[in-house]
């Protein structure tokens, strides 16, 4: 673009200057206007959270009727339903497009690094929770009320939880996995003797009419429980994730034949992300409605907080210590960049996870932050994030460890090294199998309490504060997925660059056959091109420079 006063000449005659050139150029924002433009969605989300807290606390003195609270929560319910509506197509499209863009060997390496990191951080969080709960000792035996203890003896087994995890990973019907998931229940064993005992009991009670006869009849009737695998409503996301990973991996091995399918799922992913952008403008109304409704639905907020304040404090200290110290240190050791800048880019997704208390519900916003704001390689985010929101439960592992020892402390139990080791291992295993259990933490807590022979009835004490603690630990789960994607991207950088270079060489090959392969190549040799890392060095160097520029922009 030349100076504004320079004139042009055509066939010897001068033309007037183009006065519209500079006015058509986009105006680059600077200063606070640029900051507002870059962080507008963050401010919108934060305003929704603050508005919900203020509205909930302000309306509590009015003691609103249940119908009024339901109407206040209704916009938030619709907001949650819209977010959850996009989870399934987002998971399917991202996993198939992401795994198909990598070769089978690369998929295996990324999956191994991801699962090892998930297991390591869950184990560390469980150990951190045990250390904090032993140091702070939030459990007070005086707060325990034996009169309120339930007599419900729910049978929960770690083996059942792990077996249900396997059943859900390998579903027998993909369409059923979209709406149902397998779980183990215990039912009374039907038998002729059982029916005879029931008849005998009824007869004895009828003839004697005494309390002693009724007690003897109940002693005669010993119910034998047996396992039974049933299906309950809820999306079996683990089974869908497994199928999409396998499908996408094999789709990537057939070369150009499957490219139209890859493009189809990539287009679906882009459409869903555009829908997410539109839904985000409803955040102030949706999130404020969710938070205000939860605050208003608690019967006695002050009493609950006063009784369990040390338990909440212990969980919050563990979550914040892991987020601001451990997670940042791990990121800096592996990636060698400013971790707090990366953390700041995830605040919008973290606030959404806090408001919705669901990593899966926040997944569309998490994708948007990782791909558009932090510029993490989409091949990694599409692979890691859907798996992480189902398997990686760092905050849940910490919560289960703290809650189980907290209940043992209230009951006056003294846990030895063996019991603490049991809590550590079962908390880690239970947290990674939580995808097969809805509102997992409280149900999985029964598994750990059963393992250390603690009173499982006392789980009801935590119902009153779970709505709040659940939101705190969900932020840990969501951030753990994002930091895993960044670290796995750094560890896989060489393989990603080799794939980019191989793609460049593949595009430059002469089209000797309809599939784009050179003449004389056998049809079965298609996947040799996709798995090859023997590339032209000039192409490799070009991709290295591109990757360096990409890294500099992120810094």
- Between CA 126 and CA 424 the distance in angstroms is 6
Confidence of residue 521 (pLDDT cuts 50, 70, 90): very low
Confidence of residue 485 (pLDDT cuts 50, 70, 90): very high
Average pLDDT estimate for 75-81: 87
Average pLDDT estimate for 3-13: 50
Other C-beta atoms closer than 10 Å to the C-beta of 272 total 21
Domains defined along the chain, listed by start = 33-144+236-498 (1.10.3860.10)
Distances (CA, A) of 90 to 237, 362, 386: 12, 12, 9
Average pLDDT estimate for 390-404: 88
Span 152-190, pLDDT tens digits: 444 556 677 778 878 888 888 888 888 888 878 888 876
Query: Is 131 a residue whose pLDDT tops 90?
Result: yes
Other C-beta atoms closer than 10 Å to the C-beta of 89 total 15
**The predicted structure's pLDDT at residue 20:** 46
Average pLDDT estimate for 369-377: 90
Coil, strand or helix at 188? strand
Average pLDDT estimate for 488-515: 70
**The predicted structure's pLDDT at residue 178:** 85
Spell out the SS3 assignment of 260-308.
HHHHHHHHHHHHHHHHHHHHHHHHHHHHHHHHHHHHHHCCCHHHHHHHC
Radius of gyration of the chain (CA): 29
- Between CA 335 and CA 53 the distance in angstroms is 36
Q: Whole-number mean pLDDT of the chain?
A: 76
């Amino acid at each position: 673009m030349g100076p504004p006063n320079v004139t042009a000449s055509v066939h010897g005659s001068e033309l007037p200057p183009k006065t519209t050139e500079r006015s058509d150029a986009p105006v680059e924002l600077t200063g606070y206007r640029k900051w507002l433009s870059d962080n507008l969605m963050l401010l919108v989300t934060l305003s929704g959270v603050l508005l919900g807290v203020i509205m909930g606390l302000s309306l509590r003195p009015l003691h609103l009727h249940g119908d009024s609270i339901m109407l206040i929560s209704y916009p938030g319910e619709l907001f949650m339903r819209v977010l959850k509506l996009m989870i399934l197509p987002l998971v399917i499209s991202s996993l198939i497009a992401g795994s198909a863009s990598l070769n089978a060997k690369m998929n295996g390496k990324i999956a191994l690094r991801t699962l090892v990191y998930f297991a390591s951080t869950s184990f560390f969080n469980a150990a951190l929770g045990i250390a904090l709960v032993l140091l702070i000792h939030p459990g007070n035996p005086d707060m325990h009320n034996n009169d309120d203890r339930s007599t419900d003896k729910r049978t929960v087994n770690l083996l059942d939880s792990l077996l249900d995890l396997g059943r859900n990973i390998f579903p027998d019907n993909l369409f059923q996995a979209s709406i149902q998931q397998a779980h183990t229940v215990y039912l009374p064993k039907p038998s002729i003797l059982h029916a005879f005992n029931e008849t005998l009991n009824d007869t004895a009670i009828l003839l004697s009419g005494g309390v002693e006869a009724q007690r003897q009849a109940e002693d005669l009737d010993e119910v034998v429980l047996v396992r039974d695998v049933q299906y309950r409503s809820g999306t079996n996301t683990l089974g869908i994730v497994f199928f999409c990973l396998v499908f996408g991996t094999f789709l990537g091995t057939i070369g150009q034949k499957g490219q139209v399918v890859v493009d189809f799922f990539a287009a679906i992913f882009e459409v869903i992300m555009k829908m997410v952008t539109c839904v985000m403008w409803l955040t102030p109304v949706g999130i404020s409605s969710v938070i205000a409704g939860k605050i208003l639905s608690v019967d006695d907020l002050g009493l609950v907080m006063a009784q369990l304040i040390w338990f909440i404090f212990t969980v919050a200290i563990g979550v914040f210590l892991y987020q601001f110290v451990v997670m940042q240190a791990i990121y800096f050791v592996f990636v060698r960049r400013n971790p707090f800048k990366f953390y700041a880019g995830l605040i919008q997704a973290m606030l959404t996870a806090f408001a919705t208390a669901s990593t899966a519900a926040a997944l569309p916003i998490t994708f948007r932050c990782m791909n558009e704001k932090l510029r993490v390689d989409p091949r990694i985010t599409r692979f890691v994030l859907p798996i992480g929101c189902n398997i990686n439960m760092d905050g849940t592992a910490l919560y289960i460890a703290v809650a189980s020892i907290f209940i043992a402390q209230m009951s006056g139990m003294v846990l030895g090294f063996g019991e603490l080791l049991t809590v550590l291992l079962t908390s880690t295993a239970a947290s990674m199998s939580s995808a097969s259990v809805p509102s997992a933490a409280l149900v999985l807590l029964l598994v750990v309490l059963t393992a250390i022979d603690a009173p499982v009835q006392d789980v009801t004490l935590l119902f009153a504060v779970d709505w709040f603690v659940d939101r705190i630990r969900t932020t840990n789960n969501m951030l753990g997925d994002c930091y895993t994607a960044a670290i796995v991207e750094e560890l896989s950088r060489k393989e990603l660059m080799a794939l980019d270079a191989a793609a460049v060489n593949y595009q430059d090959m002469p089209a000797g056959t309809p599939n784009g392969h050179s003449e004389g190549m056998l049809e079965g040799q298609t996947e040799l091109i996709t798995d090859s890392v023997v590339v032209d060095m000039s192409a490799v160097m070009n991709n290295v420079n591109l990757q360096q520029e990409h890294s500099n922009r992120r810094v």
